[in-house]
Amino acid sequence: MTLTWITSFGTAIGWNGVFFVSKEAHGFTRVDNLWLGVSMGAAYTVCAWSAGRLMGRHVGRGKRLSTRGFLGLLLAGAAALSVVPVVVGERWALVAYATVYIALCGFVWPTVESYLADGRSGRALRRATGLFNLSWASSLVVAMWVIAPVLEEHPLWVLGVLVPIHLVSIVLLVLFRRNPGEHGSAAHAHTPEELAALVRLRRLFRMCLLGSYVLHAGLSPVLPQMIEGLGVEVRHSTVLASVWMVTRLGVFALMISWHGWHGHARTAVWSGGLMLGGFVLALMSGSWWVLAIGLAMLGVGIGAVYAAAIYYALETGSTDVDAGGKHEAMIGAGYTVGPMLGLALESAVVFGG
């Protein structure tokens, strides 16, 4: 969980904060940021989807490279990459950094989730995934608040700080086993009927997960310009943008102790409704407080969907890297489609006069 928190701090900046950095450091427009989002989303999707296959061939038990060693190489690569946009200081360097950094994350998170699922199922797995969600989600909130005062004067330094952060996370790997335990499927304790029901819910929430990331990935790249248009100062912009992360964190905390969501399709109904309602309200907002309400609703819906989706993915799938990889690939697909829809909307506005 500690490694998750620290590493997620980097992901927060590398994926959410980077749109504010690009705007302040290089004057990226809404369209520029949307294209950047498409590039990052596509890279993440490809790497997350292929993580299980790649590691099955070259990483893990009986292989020359252990899972722990592979994770260490990924984190070292992330640290090295974070120097590039600071030293080079060009637009292309920021785009290259963001795309490759997120590609590495596409391998990092399925690998971390393989350790998370190790030897757990049922209530134990729900608790573990709940704590995992609290860990990475709280880190995102802190990261967005911390970078706020730096953005105005030294935006590229926001990326440079990831170098020591990822080096610290590598040190924590000495506490990890070389590889997650070998235990096949976490679903072995279920009857065929129970497993079939859980698989149906996995499909449902995997689609909801895709939809949730389409919504917020379409919104995130343009939030810096939207917030600026509402008259909010730069030093407060990332704090306002983090409202949905705060409410998502609250839902994650709730779903650790409240298990009424588990085993029910109705969870998808109310969470999906909140997502859509919050997204529409945020787009239509004419003041910062209306935007905040919309983002808060969006965060609650996204949080519920994510918590259910990762639980069903790890409970019914293989507990190796492949289960987390497919879960993360759906996230990456959302991160790709969302900005593409945003670009389509921007084009429609331009051509519509």
pLDDT digits (tens, 9 = 90+) for 42-57: 998 888 888 777 777 7
45-59, 135-149, 150-164, 259-273: lowest mean pLDDT where? 45-59
For residue 173, pLDDT beyond 60: yes
For residue 185, pLDDT beyond 70: no
For residue 106, pLDDT beyond 60: yes
pLDDT value, residue 182: 54
Residues 61-79 pLDDT 10s: 778 899 899 999 999 999 9
Residues 128-141 pLDDT 10s: 878 888 898 899 89
Q: What's the average model confidence in pLDDT over 253-279?
A: 88
For residue 226, pLDDT beyond 60: yes
pLDDT band at 348 (very low <50, low <70, confident <90, very high): low
pTM: 0.82
For residue 273, pLDDT beyond 90: yes
pLDDT value, residue 152: 79
pLDDT value, residue 181: 67
pLDDT band at 179 (very low <50, low <70, confident <90, very high): confident
pLDDT band at 95 (very low <50, low <70, confident <90, very high): very high
Residues 286-330 pLDDT 10s: 899 999 999 999 999 999 998 888 888 777 765 455 555 666 777
Arithmetic mean of pLDDT over the chain? 85
pLDDT value, residue 60: 73
pLDDT band at 276 (very low <50, low <70, confident <90, very high): very high
For residue 90, pLDDT beyond 50: yes
Integer Cα distance of 103 and 77 in angstroms: 11
